[in-house]
Copies of this chain bind each other. A is one copy, B any other.
Amino acid sequence: MAGPGDDDEHDPILDDSIEAEAKTQTCVGGSSERDMAPSAPGPSIHRSGSRPQLDLSKAEIQGNFEERDPTILLPNQSDDISHLALDIGGSLIKLLYFSRHEEDYSNDDDKRKRTIKERLGITNGNLRSYPVLGGRLHFVKFETHKINECLDFIHSKQLHRRDPYPWSSKTLPLGTGVIKVTGGGAYKFADLFKERLGVSIEKEDEMHCLVSGANFLLKAIRHEAFTHMEAEKEFVQIDPNDLYPYLLVNVGSGVSIIKVDGEGKFERVSGTNVGGGTYWGLGKLLTKCKSFDELLELSQKGDNSTIDMLVGDIYGGMDYSKIGLSASTIASSFGKAISENKELEDYRPEDISLSLLRMISYNIGQISYLNALRFGLKRIFFGGFFIRGHAYTMDTISFAVHFWSKGEMQAMFLRHEGFLGALGAFMSYEKHGLDDLMSHQLVERFPMGAPYTGGNIHGPPLGDLNEKISWMEKFVRRGTEITAPVPMTPSKTTGLGGFDVPSSRGSPLRSDASALNIGVLHLVPTLEVFPLLADPKTYEPNTIDLSDQGEREYWLKVLSEHLPDLVDTAVASEGGTEDAKRRGDAFARAFSAHLARLMEEPAAYGKLGLANLLELREECLREFQFLDAYRSIKQRENEASLAVLPDLLEELDSMNEEARLLTLIEGVLAANIFDWGSRACVDLYRKGTIIEIYRMSRNKMQRPWRVDDFDAFKERMLGSGGKQPHRHKRALLFVDNSGADVILGMLPLAREFLRRGTEVVLVANSLPALNDVTAMELPDIVAGAAKHCDILRRAAEMGGLLVDAMVNPGDGSKKVSTSAPLMVVENGCGSPCIDLRQVSSELAAAAKEADLVILEGMGRALHTNFNAQFKCESLKLAMVKNQRLADKLIKGNIYDCVCRYEPPSVSQM
């Protein structure tokens, strides 16, 4: 993986008017992944979350300087983009582009990975003839009548100059490019694209694109669809094998209603001209609102009964109960305006907006229901930019469908509602292999983007770190609260250039009025479903249900309270410079805004679990270039723990098998106290040294623990009644924290398995998260431990883990043994928790021969996976370092321990 700072990633300058000269890159913090090893500290990683920086060298204003929004040419900017598709509708242009990251095998870490891949039998491209490369899908929109801003955007990013096929990185000669476009604008603007960008448009059928976009989303994005009834959003898990048939209702300017029977099998069965364009067009004329979203926001404060004729108005306040119409049912939208002696000016714009919204949403819901009924369809998916994630709109549509179908049909909404057509156009590039993508290969991230506080915003998501920080600071200066960072594009994106100064109205925005909650879609083809899950379909990683308001409030408060310490640590980790302080402050504001948003709308970013929250925090840190906030803490603790490891190993070796096993488990549980994610523990650390705390902790480990399956585990390990148990073939040890936790807890346990002839795979994070040890740090730690222990040394050597062994790995052609006694693999994630539906292909490969899974620590064994069932044996070990969780999960107290041993699940597989 390479950052934009790598010269070989840059294209020759494409615009003839600009000379191709030596470039000077303004690289704020971007770097490649190889810099992540502890030996190469610095602001160096941008694997996910943060976006490449703008290369401002040679920037110049193009064209007339008098223009309001002049095009800014950034000839040296490269975002490694390969793909571009558009959906140009009557009101909005939806643009989708793909940015790619090529694998880079030039550094040592990648050599290690390659070795492991070969060892585990992983090859690229054996499943697909056209490999999907990792990268990101970005979603941007423009207003159609501001098409020039869209063209400027494409031009400035040179999105049109790439070969449409991502595996080919060549740049096309001017005038030969082809881009896929759907919607009426493909016809209307074809000449303009040719003239302005020198590219040809390949027109893709609108309905076909809508359908293939919807099919892709419903199959590949986990929490894509949701219901919305009475302000309650609920995500719906769609079984990709039981998707068809369904009714797709795309509510754009107008409405298309499509019956979908399968991939490429569909029929547009109906439509209506009363759609988003009608709401906004009529609303504009009636209220003088300046934007769709302003109009939509107005509706929040509206009372439509001042203008609609209700059943009660006709029936003297009574219901017409005989036919099920309550007094508050709208008998005639706008009907009250008939009899009142009022002018337009006498009505509140808020009321007008709400009346319009109810009229149109209800109408769409009703017509959709009637069409679903024709074909006996139970599921109706609503897409299109009209809906805009607006709660009342969705409620109204849902109500209509529910009311008329007497609850037999369900209205469902799509998080990427606006981008179905653009996605479809994107999918229509041949042989990109995207349609094979599975939900486990897509990760959605919610970067800070272009935040949104109610003012008008222009421009694509803020990509530049400095822009983001400045933005935050601007709000600090103005005293304006940031409550709703919009993860992706703003609701009213109009191309390049900053954003309008937000109105200082003070009151935080209602979340309703905010824009789409969609992030950047990271395509990670190397992610897989953990193969040892007993039933991936029913697997739910999160243990705590954050849709419970009490739980949500508690955990959001915990995160909020922990924030100042985290910022201090992060700033300190980078030497406490002014720059670090600025970034730390911006991070705090950004993450607070995320928390505020989630507090108000828990499902803003999809189904919310603690795992997502913790990952969001890590991503947010990375976005503000805090690549490893706990680096120095981890280093210090690793060193201190390695220093006492020899004594510990000696102590263990002096015990009999049975005592040793108990001491080892006690050690894992005791060492798990070193967790910088726990407020209580952080307070502890101030009171003693690591080894003191460890010993104190282990001494307190009095059985029975709160959850105590030790006897069963011991019997499995040592046998009973003289019967010798068969040894485990391979154990996967999911490690947690750096320092004592891994070195004094998990490594001795690993050594015990190695001693018994069991292969050990240490599974560690791919990216830093709190003080968790990463897969890149772990080999050094093992090497350090191996110095004091032959068992570890031999195993590490055979597994190619020792650093000195890394310099001469097999050169790829040589056959490598697929088995090694000790391996380190990355888990594919950068969070304290783990979602086993999305793990690295290495881990998935390593898991195939494993017959024991050990999950250690709160994040991986309690917050997530506490209830996970596996096809093999599993051991979940953790100390509970939070009173509420102890209460909830084990009806115990803080510092209680969990040792949960389970035989292979015999559940449905």
A278 to B307, CA, bound (A): 10
CB-based closest 4 A-B pairs: A277-B335, A184-B314, A277-B332, A188-B316
Q: Is A285 an interface residue (CB 8 A)?
A: yes
Q: When the two chains form their complex, are residues B370 and A333 in contact, meaning their CB atoms are under 8 A apart?
A: no
Contact across chains for A285 and B90 when beta carbons are under 8 A apart: no
Contact string, A186-220, partner B, CB cutoff 8 A, digits 1/0? 01111000000000000001110000000000000
Whether the Cβ atoms of A207 and B323 lie closer than 8 Å is yes
Q: Does A374 interact with chain B (Cβ within 8 Å)?
A: yes
Do B273 and A331 touch across chains, with their CB atoms under 8 A apart? yes
Give the chain B neighbours of A254 by CB distance below 8 A: 309, 330-332, 335
CB-CB under 8 A for A330 and B273, given A323-B268, A339-B144, A373-B374: yes
Residues of B within 8 A of A273 (CB): 308, 329-333, 359, 362
Is A433 part of the binding interface, using a Cβ–Cβ cutoff of 8 Å?
Answer: no
User: Does any Cβ of B come within 8 Å of A169's Cβ?
Assistant: no
Q: Mark A268-308, 1 if CB is under 8 A from B, else 0.
A: 10101111111011101110100000000000000000011
Contact with B along A317-349 (1 / 0, CB 8 A): 110101100000111111111110001100100
A253 lies within 8 A of chain B by Cβ = yes
CB nearest neighbor in B for A360: B274
For window 353-412 of chain A, which residues contact chain B by CB distance below 8 Å?
A: 359, 362-363, 366-367, 370-371, 373-374, 404
Q: Decide if A143 is an interface residue (CB 8 Å cutoff).
A: yes
Partner of A359, one of B145, B278, B343: B278
Interface residues of A, Cβ cutoff 8 Å to B: 89-91, 143-145, 183-185, 187-190, 205-207, 252-254, 268, 270, 272-278, 280-282, 284-286, 288, 307-309, 311, 313-318, 320, 322-323, 329-339, 343-344, 347, 352, 359, 362-363, 366-367, 370-371, 373-374, 404
Contact A344 B404 (CB under 8 A): no
Q: Once the chains are docked, how many angstroms separate the CA of A277 from the CA of B270?
A: 26
Min distance, Cβ A257 to any Cβ of chain B, angstroms: 10
Residues of chain B within 8 A of A337, CB atoms compared: 280-282, 284-285
Hey, which chain B residues are within 8 Å of A308, CB to CB? 273
A270–B325 alpha-carbon span in the complex (Å):
11
Question: Beyond the given A189-B316, A273-B362, could you list 4 further A-B residue pairs with CB under 8 A, ordered by the A residue number?
Answer: A90-B331, A143-B339, A184-B311, A370-B371
Nearest Cβ distance between residue A317 and chain B, in whole angstroms? 8
In the bound complex, do residue B334 and residue A282 qualify as a contact, i.e. CB atoms below 8 Å apart?
yes
Contact between B347 and A285, CB atoms less than 8 A apart? yes
Nearest CB in chain B to that of A143: its residue: B339
Q: Are B374 and A277 in contact (CB under 8 A)?
A: no
Residues from chain B with a CB closer than 8 A to the CB of A276 are: 332
Is B277 a contact of A320 with CB atoms below 8 Å? Answer: no
How far, in angstroms, from A362 to B362 measured CA to CA in the complex? 16
Cβ of A902 to closest chain B Cβ, rounded Å: 53
Assess whether A338 is in contact with B281, with CB atoms less than 8 Å apart: yes
Q: Is the CB of A91 within 8 A of B277?
A: no
Chain B residues positioned under 8 Å from A373 (CB to CB): 370, 374
Task: Report the Cα distance A376→B411, complex, angstroms.
Answer: 25
Shortest Cβ distance from A196 into chain B, in angstroms? 16
A188-B315, A363-B274 known; A307-B281 Cβ under 8 A: yes
User: What is the bound-complex CA distance between A88 and B480, given in angstroms?
Assistant: 54
- Nearest CB in chain B: distance from A270 CB, A: 7
Distance from A149 Cβ to chain B, minimum over Cβ atoms (Å): 13
Given A332-B90, A332-B281: A338 touches B253 (CB 8 Å cut-off): yes
Instruction: Check if B314 sits within 8 Å of A183, measured CB to CB.
Output: yes
Given A272-B363, A274-B363, A323-B207, check contact A90 B314 (CB 8 Å): yes
The CA-CA distance from A818 to B144 in the complex, in Å, is 87
Contact of A318 among B143, B187, B315, B322 (CB under 8 A): B187
Residues of B within 8 A of A315 (CB): 184, 187-188
For A334, list chain B residues within 8 Å (CB). 277-278, 281-282, 285
Q: Which B residues are CB-close (under 8 A) to A323? A: 207, 268
Q: How far is the CA of A332 from the CA of B183 in the complex (A)?
A: 14
Residues of chain B lying within 8 A (CB to CB) of residue A189 = 316
CA distance A90 to B190 in the complex (A): 51
A185 and B331 CA atoms in complex are apart in Å by 13
Q: By the criterion CB–CB under 8 Å, are A288 and B343 in contact?
A: yes
- Nearest CB in chain B: distance from A304 CB, A: 10
A347 to B320, CA, bound (A): 39
A307 to B288, CA, bound (A): 16
Q: How far is the CA of A190 from the CA of B143 in the complex (A)?
A: 54
**Which residues of B are found within 8 Å of A320, using beta-carbon distances?**
184, 206
A280 to B340, CA, bound (A): 12
Q: What are 18 inter-chain pairs, A to B, with CB distance below 8 A?
A: A90-B332, A90-B335, A183-B314, A206-B320, A207-B323, A253-B309, A270-B366, A273-B333, A273-B362, A275-B335, A277-B309, A277-B332, A277-B333, A277-B335, A278-B332, A285-B347, A286-B286, A370-B373
* A317 contacts across to B, CB distance below 8 A: 188
Whole-angstrom CA separation of A89 from B308 in the bound complex:
14
Please determine whether B339 and A91 come into contact, CB atoms closer than 8 angstroms.
yes
Give every chain B residue within 8 A of A332 (Cβ-Cβ).
90-91, 252-254, 273-278, 281
Instruction: List residues of chain B with CB within 8 A of the CB of A352.
Output: 285
Q: Which residue of B lies closest to A386 (CB)?
A: B332
Interchain CA distance A359-B278 in the complex, whole Å: 9
* A253 and B285 in contact, given A273-B362, A278-B359, A322-B205 (Cβ under 8 angstroms): no
CA distance A285 to B205 in the complex (A): 39
Q: In the docked arrangement, what's the CA distance between A12 and B316, Å?
A: 36
Residues of chain B with a CB closer than 8 A to A316's CB:
184-185, 187-190
The distance from the CB of A814 to the nearest CB of chain B, in whole angstroms, is 57
Inside 8 A of A281's CB, which chain B residues have their CB? 307, 309, 332-338
The CA-CA distance from A330 to B278 in the complex, in Å, is 11
* Chain B: minimal CB distance from A29 (Å): 40
The distance in angstroms between the C-alpha atoms of A745 and B309, with both chains bound, is 69
Question: Is there contact, CB below 8 Å, between A274 and B145?
Answer: no
Tell me the bound Cα distance from A285 to B334 in angstroms.
9
